[in-house]
Amino acid sequence: MSLTLVPMTDDQFAPLRVGLEQAYAEDLAGARGLSPEAARAESLAQIDRDLPDGVATPGVLLRMALVDGEEVGWIWTTLPDADRPTMAWIHNIEVHPAHRGHGHARRMIQLAEAELARLGVGQLGLNVFGHNTVAIRLYDSLGFQVTSQHMVKPLPPS
């Protein structure tokens, strides 16, 4: 049972994008206190900006994760650019619910790291929402280090 990453096609990305837009909007609403409508608009705007040409967007690596030919998840990374000149970035990693708990996310990141290293990239970054403790533990175990933190404290009404 060996996991491999293969380039994603437009046909594969179309249904995944719908789930990505929704999940990101939910995370934005919770993390930033946005209304569902505002979070949805922000999610759509960011994805449109980051993936203007879908899977053909220059500098974007969209990869499907397969185990014995079966799709188990996907990962979206970008190569260094003007905003991050020395660092690739993981925008999204997802293991489909039926395949979680088998180490697939760890292997997906390791394979993405190897591909990026072959391309001469020296650093890989990501953002993780504070409530995602499972992902935080995974990233910690893979050697990612916190470089900044946003913190929020609710204030009682006066």
37 domain-assigned: no
113 alpha carbon, distance to own chain's centre: 14
Averaged pLDDT for residues 18-44: 92
Is 77 domain-assigned?
yes
The answer to the question of residue 15 being in a domain is no
| CA–CA dist 97, 101 (Å, integer) | 9
- Domain enclosing residue 114, as ranges: 3-8+53-141
CA-closest candidate to residue 9, choices 70, 54, 68: 54
Task: Return the SS3 of 89.
Answer: strand
The count of domains in the chain is 1
**73 occurs within a structural domain:** yes
Q: Considering the domain boundaries, does residue 28 fall inside one?
A: no
Q: What is the pLDDT of residues 84-122, one digit of tens each?
A: 999 999 999 999 999 999 999 999 999 999 999 999 999
pLDDT band at 31 (very low <50, low <70, confident <90, very high): confident
- Does residue 108 fall inside a structural domain? yes
- pLDDT at site 58: 96
The pTM for the full model equals 0.90
Coil, helix or strand at residue 17: helix
* CATH, residue 59: 3.40.630.30
Is the residue at 59 inside a domain?
A: yes
Would you say residue 67 lies in a domain? yes
Distance CA 84, CA 75 (A): 19
